[in-house]
């Protein structure tokens, strides 16, 4: 009963933001432009081979209607699934990755599409936390007379109160939120391997991305003359390290070899 209610609520939330039209909407255009650039094209219109590969992977995942796939002109080697359902892959990724490596990258984002119920609930929880924090700050400030309009000091007290509650909220809820984010990324890697079926290609894609990140770090350091502090990846970090991802993929591959996993089960996870 609870599972049915959860699916119904999350599907309704997704229906409010999703757009199944063949064209890129203004909201999606804004999302892509903000993240990458304003130069993009639907893969179905300009990249037939890429779109055919993407469609085959969607069919393999059991998706009846493929999400839209956009190719964005950008030097950032990446792919992203936005909350409206559209998936964007950059020209840098198309240039630097081989076909089988690109297959893993696309499969990873397709799995995020299958995760949309959990992703939407996760984003709603994240947004509602910020709203509730603001309401709590205003409520406490009003009750204690900070907003009586007599002085600007009350406004400063309200802002300080908001910051305090926000920090407390982040401390209490930030950790489990990051754990959920890591779990979703791990499952996307699992789905990526199940769909692409090539562990070696998945490892090469992760290696290519790590080299890209290191190259960009070097470029920034050369321009600023200030060495960047390397991020320490711990169990509470929102993103998985390359080593963690490869280790997990090897574990998934072992399950596949043992007959415990196959691509026909991927749509059942979500």
pTM given for the model: 0.75
**Which tokens go with 146?**
């900070």
Integer Cα distance of 83 and 119 in angstroms:
8
- Would you state the pLDDT for residue 117? 61
For the segment 18-53, what is each residue's pLDDT rounded down to a tens digit? Answer: 555 568 888 888 888 988 888 999 999 999 999 999
Confidence of residue 118 (pLDDT cuts 50, 70, 90): low
Give whole-number Cα distances, 136 to 49, 130, 131, in Å.
Answer: 53, 10, 9
* Strands of the sheet with 69-72, listed across from one edge: 40-42, 69-72, 87-90, 79-81
Residue 103's Cβ-count burial label (10 Å; 0-12, 13-18, 19+) is buried
Span 46-88, pLDDT tens digits: 999 999 999 999 999 988 889 999 999 999 999 999 888 899 9
Look at residue 149 in the predicted model and tell me its pLDDT.
53
Nearest by Cα to 51 from 33, 62, 66: 66
Assess whether pLDDT exceeds 50 at residue 1.
no
Per-residue pLDDT, averaged over 232-240, amounts to 56
- Domains (ranges, CATH) in the chain? 2-114 (3.30.2010.10)
- Predicted confidence (pLDDT) per residue in 164-222, tens digit: 766 666 666 666 777 878 888 998 999 999 999 999 999 999 999 999 888 887 877 67
Tokens matching residue 263: 């691509």
Residue 162: the pLDDT is 67
Give me the sign of the Cα torsion angle 139, 145, 146, 152: positive
């Amino acid at each position: 009963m609870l599972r049915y209610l959860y699916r119904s609520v999350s599907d309704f939330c997704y229906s409010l933001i999703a757009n199944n039209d063949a064209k890129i909407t203004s909201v999606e255009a804004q999302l892509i432009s903000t993240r990458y650039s304003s130069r993009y094209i639907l893969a179905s219109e300009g990249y037939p081979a890429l779109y055919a590969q993407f469609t085959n992977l969607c069919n393999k995942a059991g998706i009846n209607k493929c999400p839209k796939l956009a190719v964005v002109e950008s030097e950032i080697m990446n792919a992203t699934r936005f909350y409206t359902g559209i998936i964007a892959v950059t020209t840098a990724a198309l240039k630097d990755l081989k076909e089988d490596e690109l297959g893993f990258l696309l499969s990873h984002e397709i799995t995020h599409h299958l995760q949309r119920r959990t992703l939407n609930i996760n984003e709603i929880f994240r947004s509602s936390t910020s709203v509730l924090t603001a309401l709590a700050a205003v409520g406490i400030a009003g009750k204690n007379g900070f907003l009586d309009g007599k002085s600007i000091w009350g406004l400063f007290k309200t802002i300080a109160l908001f910051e305090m509650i926000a920090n407390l909220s982040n401390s209490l809820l930030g950790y489990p939120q990051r754990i959920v984010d890591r779990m979703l990324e791990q499952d996307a890697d699992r789905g990526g391997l199940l769909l692409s079926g090539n562990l070696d290609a998945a490892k090469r894609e992760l290696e290519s991305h790590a080299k890209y990140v290191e190259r960009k770090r070097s470029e920034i350091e050369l321009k600023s003359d200030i060495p960047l502090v390397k991020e320490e990846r711990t169990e509470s970090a929102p993103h998985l390290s390359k080593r963690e991802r490869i280790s997990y993929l090897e574990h998934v591959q072992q399950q596949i070899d043992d007959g415990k996993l196959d691509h026909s089960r991927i749509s059942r996870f979500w």
